[in-house]
Amino acid sequence: MALSENCDVTALTQALQSADPDEQMQALDACLSALTDPTLWYWLIGFTVVCALVGALIGKYKNAVVRDTLLGLALGPIGWGISLLLPKATPKPLCRACGKPVDAGDRHCRHCGAAL
Ligand SMILES: [Zn+2]
């Protein structure tokens, strides 16, 4: 069932102002069943997953998978736009001794202690 057929704001407002309690309950039930309709939730969950996946894909090219996945998850297509506008993150330099990532300003590797 479509949301607009059973639950629109005007109909709900009118029903709630009506003196007939049955009519009020019917209007509330229609809105409630529209909200608990599983199809609506499948679409919402599917859309959220797609948003996160596209965000992750953008993040892969921007070297910021976690950041862009979260942006896509939280903001959807707006998050993708923000991800695309943000500058590409530079990967951290690697320690020559152990190969683990270190911060650019570090004098010694925090993993193996080798001088950088
Ligand atoms: Zn190291």
Distance 112 CA to ligand 1 centre (A): 4
Residue 92 — φ and ψ, nearest 5°? -70, 145
Cα 116 to Cα 113: distance, rounded to the nearest angstrom? 9
Asked if residue 35 has pLDDT above 90, the reply is: no
Distance 59 CA to ligand 1 centre (A): 26
Distance 91 CA to ligand 1 centre (A): 16
Distance 95 CA to ligand 1 centre (A): 5
pTM of the model: 0.58
Distance 104 CA to ligand 1 centre (A): 13
Count CB atoms within 10 A of the CB of residue 48: 14
**Residue bearing tokens 């650019």:** 104
Of 113, 48, 112, 46, nearest to 79 (Cα)? 48
pLDDT tens string 48-86: 999 999 999 999 999 899 999 999 999 999 999 999 999
Q: Which residues surround ligand 1, an ion (CB under 5 A)?
A: 95, 97-98, 109, 111-112, 114
User: Residue ranges of the domains in the chain?
Assistant: 9-85, 90-116
Q: Specify the range with the lowest mean pLDDT, choosing from 41-50, 72-81, 88-97, 106-115.
A: 88-97
Cα 113 to Cα 10: distance, rounded to the nearest angstrom? 69
Model confidence at 90, in pLDDT bands (50, 70, 90)?
Answer: confident
Strands (E), the chain: none
Structure tokens, 95: 């320690």
Task: Check: CB of residue 37 under 8 Å from CB of residue 62.
Answer: no
